[in-house]
Structure 1
Amino acid sequence: MDGDQGGNRQFRSIDTNDLPRGTRMGTLRDFLARELMGVEITPIREEGFYVSVHALTLPDLLIAYGRSDELSCARLVDRLGDGQDDFMLDVMNVPMFLSVEGRWEIEVKAGDGLIYPLDRPWRLDHKRSEVRCMRLPRALLAGILPDLDSQPCHVIPREGGALDLLLGYAELVMKRAAAVPELQAEMSRHLVELAAHAFTRRQPVVAMPETRRRALALARLDLIKADICRRLGDPALSVGDIAAQYRMSPRNLQALFAASETTFTAYLRDQRLLRAWRLLEDPRRRDASIAAIAAEAGFSDLSHFNRAFRARFAASPRDVRDKGPRDLRDKELRQLRDRCESGGNCTGSGQDLT
């Protein structure tokens, strides 16, 4: 992280490729949350995650250009007390998906502008993208646009030229501001006026269709499930841990699982049992004790593991280990296991298969 333009702190940049691997995410989050926009980010994949941001701070205004891999960024409830009440304007080359206060869910087309506030909680998701954004002062915008708060967010279409004019002038300011410090306040006023002009071209905000909302929720749940499966060996893994990682409340995370007719606890337990089954069948693990297998699958209590395994599969761990994959009553028992693995009903018929 550094200041560009000869050390001028108005210009700041960050590139994750230049940061030490061990501190990369912490440094990036500090930069975005504390120095620039008061937001938190969650990359969909932390391994190899890339972000590059170049920002210019002007009187009352911020301009930032950047690139990033797929991520979610959020304005969390516990950050609303920092006093920031400005508006963000984002334009990306990929679609954006915004949820405001957990109720409004909006899809924004690639190339369109999105204006949304910093005084409400929201979550913004997008794929790998190039982004141009501005933090616009509420006080100045509200003086020009009395209906600024008429909707939780506003979409500005690319068509019509007003958004292109704003972005073109912002790019010019990024290039020339350092050379003319005496004109920076005037540049800020021009940007606010151009943003207000673009705002008058806004489209009515329409909530995302229910089918699309469900599809996005399922995609998010799939990512969360994949992350849970990577962390099965942690016996302390909790709904709070996963919710914090994805910048969600535990209640909202539980609601995602409830929509697919399961719970976080049930999914975690079933996946741990499936891992234990695979380890018990693995001929390379024949010398491992049942207790070691249970611990590797994330169970800290052997008695609890034995009871849960039998309740789920109607067979004991030792049955699976001793009889082997070919000798155990393959067809019905494996169908039961496969239903669990695919996320279906794992309860089975209740018949004792041992």
Structure 2
Amino acid sequence: MAQIVPGSPRFTLVRSTAQITERTPALVRTDRSEYLLLSFMRVGHWYLEQDDRRTELLPGQFAIYDSTRPYRLHADGPFEQMVFRMPRALMECRMPRLSHMTARAYDSGSGPGALVAGFVNLLAGHAQSLSPDAVESFEIAGADLIATALALLGEGSGARSASLFERIVAKLSNQMLDDGFDFAVYARQQGMSLRSLQRLFHENGTTPRAWLLQRRLDNIASQLRSPAFAQRSITEIALSSGFNDLTYFNRMFRARFSATPSQWRRSTGRDKS
């Protein structure tokens, strides 16, 4: 049973028995809700899978998952949790690499995690006495607290290379659409070996090739939704985004979004192939 906490639809108290909840690529495509969900376990436990990670969440812990990417929740017995849905845009501008923080269990009883849990519990407890505008204002203010706490928690969970990784990939934005892009050349430009670059990507849960493919596909998907690119054909958009093999592009796009580029564009009301 899911119960909305009085005062704000952002908070949900979930009590349930064994269940599996899955947000598939197809559901992500049709339901475009963009939230970061913080789940605080109170009773029982469940497993969360997202971004090629799987974690068990126990009482006194919280985890994060992102509605813009597929995930899977599995509980093999009764559980109770509080879920806080935070607009993803609030956190994305504060934490560019949100995907590194998902599907990890954080301690909500001490340190930075306790600050996050304290803020969320206080806001949930007082939301009913606040206006919707006031709740939204507190959410915005709390985003800085949550981002700071997650950054500190990340330092203790294998994320020491995240800062370097963010700097490296930030510089890729102007080059990643070039169909002749070469990671070996790019590594030299950054003063490191190709092997070191590959290790850095691996430490952050991906590979150079997988990261580049995902970013190119996400860039195309965004353009297909945008009115600014409505007059450009899918072929033009794909070629200008680094794909010179359209068969490969179509296959990879369908694998990532469970839809062809044309189907994706039609779902937004624009259909120029």
TM-score, structure 2 as length reference: 0.48
Larger radius of gyration: 1
Return the structure number with greater relative CO, CA threshold 8 A, min gap 6: 2
